[in-house]
Amino acid sequence: MLTVENAELHYGAALALRDVSIEIEADRITCILGRNGVGKSSLLRSIIGQHPLSFGDIRFNGETFTKKFAYDRARAGIGFVPQGREIFPLLTVKENLQVGFSAVKPDQRSFPPYLFELFPVLQDMLHRRGGDLSGGQQQQLAIARALVIRPKLLVLDEPTEGIQPSIIKDIARALVQLRDRGITILLVEQYLDFCRQIADHIYIMDRGEIVHSGKPETLDRSDVREYLTV
């Protein structure tokens, strides 16, 4: 569904991605693991159109996306859940969700019916301010906001960061349900447990490069664990 080929990304003179190639297969959960600062967010930024590649290509469903604007990628069906959630604290939960409507046609501006089945807490809190929600609830809101565009590919940057274990379980269950509904998922994580539970395929990054690609079982190998925060 999504291919990144020989990607290089710079911040000024600093190289953050070095010859990165990955393939995201449809209807799977692909997880990119790696420690802090290895380039995970940079790779996602290049995929959603927030930072240009200095070399390489990105293709989505066969179409070249390398130079497309972020809003075109959202319209084409790439939903994004940023690191740190970035919900709007002064808007209500409902208004936060409606922000996603800007990327869809007027006749599609309704909440997907499964949204509140996945995250019932959001229904109860529709009129509360985003900033009044707990960290875990805010993460669920950020995921729901991305789902409002009815994405084909959902991209998440460290969805478990700073979140209590009970809500991490809810998020894991939601992502598996979304995959089973036909939404392809790409997420990056620092910690392997969450990925091992839900991933169909994993990549590991180190210092701007992909250093491993395999099934989640391969995470048990000591040469693989070297690259990770366990």
Ligand X SMILES: Nc1ncnc2c1ncn2[C@@H]1O[C@H](COP(=O)(O)OP(=O)(O)O)[C@@H](O)[C@H]1O
Chain residues binding ligand X by CB under 6 A are 11, 14, 16, 34, 36-42
Q: Which of 41, 137, 139, 160 binds Mg ion (CB under 5 A)?
A: 41
Binding string to Mg ion for residues 64 to 103, with x set by CB under 5 A, is what?
A: -------------------x--------------------
Residue closer to Mg ion by CB (options 36, 222) is 36
What is the C-alpha separation between 156 and 166, in angstroms, rounded?
19
**Number of residues this chain uses to bind Mg ion (CB under 5 A):** 3
Residue closer to ligand X by CB (options 11, 166) is 11
**Partner whose footprint covers residue 37, from Mg ion, ligand X, none (CB < 5 to 8 Å by kind):** ligand X
Residue closer to ligand X by CB (options 34, 77) is 34
Residue closer to ligand X by CB (options 21, 98) is 21
For the beta sheet containing 55-60, the strands, ordered from the edge strand earlier in sequence to the opposite edge, are 14-24, 2-11, 55-60, 63-64
What is the C-alpha separation between 73 and 104, in angstroms, rounded?
11
Q: Closest separation between CB of residue 24 and ligand X, Å?
A: 18
Which residues lie across from 58 on neighbouring strands?
Answer: 4
**Partner whose footprint covers residue 11, from Mg ion, ligand X, none (CB < 5 to 8 Å by kind):** ligand X
Residue closer to ligand X by CB (options 14, 230) is 14
Cβ(115)–Cβ(156) below 8 Å: no
Q: Which tokens in the block code for residue 23?
A: 């393939």
**Partner whose footprint covers residue 230, from ligand X, Mg ion, none (CB < 5 to 8 Å by kind):** none
**By CB under 5 A, is residue 160 in contact with Mg ion?**
no
Pairing label, strands 63-64, 78-81 = unpaired
Smallest CA-to-CA distance from 227 within 9, 17, 39 is with: 39
Cβ(4)–Cβ(56) below 8 Å: yes
What is the C-alpha separation between 120 and 97, in angstroms, rounded?
14
Smallest CA-to-CA distance from 158 within 128, 124, 133, 194 is with: 194
Q: Closest separation between CB of residue 207 and ligand X, Å?
A: 9
Q: Given the rule CB under 5 A, which residues bind Mg ion?
A: 40-41, 83
